[in-house]
Amino acid sequence: MPSSRSLAALVGIVLSGLALSACQDQASGQVVARNGLRLVETLSNPSIHGCHRFPEGVTHVNNQTQSSLLLYTTPDCTVPQGGQSTYLDIGAADQVVSATGLWRSFSFAPE
């Protein structure tokens, strides 16, 4: 029976590895977006890949994840000519200044 135990151990290791690698594609925690005092969206464990679009423009973003964010005033995570993105660190909150306009999307900053 040693071979069946070895096979079971190997299967367990493979499954653990798959579970751990799947978690690396997500930011652990929440991104909370508000427009004024009104809650617009709460994203739990969002994917760290790609652009995330808010359903509407937001004035406040709380980054309660374990990864840093980049906030954009465009819906497609691009920086408009003459503009810039806003860096939001782990565990930080930020609100729009009137000169930039509302935030419409975010992506995760490269680590």
**pLDDT classification of 2: cutoffs 50, 70, 90:** low
Query: Which sign does the torsion angle of CA 107, 53, 79, 99 carry?
Result: negative
For 78-104, the pLDDT digits (tens) are 998 888 899 999 988 888 766 678 999
63 falls in which pLDDT band (50, 70, 90)? very high
For residues 63-71, give the mean pLDDT.
94
pLDDT number for residue 74: 95
Q: What is the pLDDT of residues 38-52, one digit of tens each?
A: 999 999 999 999 999
Q: How many CA atoms lie within 13 A of 26 on its CB side?
A: 13
Domains of the chain: 27-108 (2.60.20)
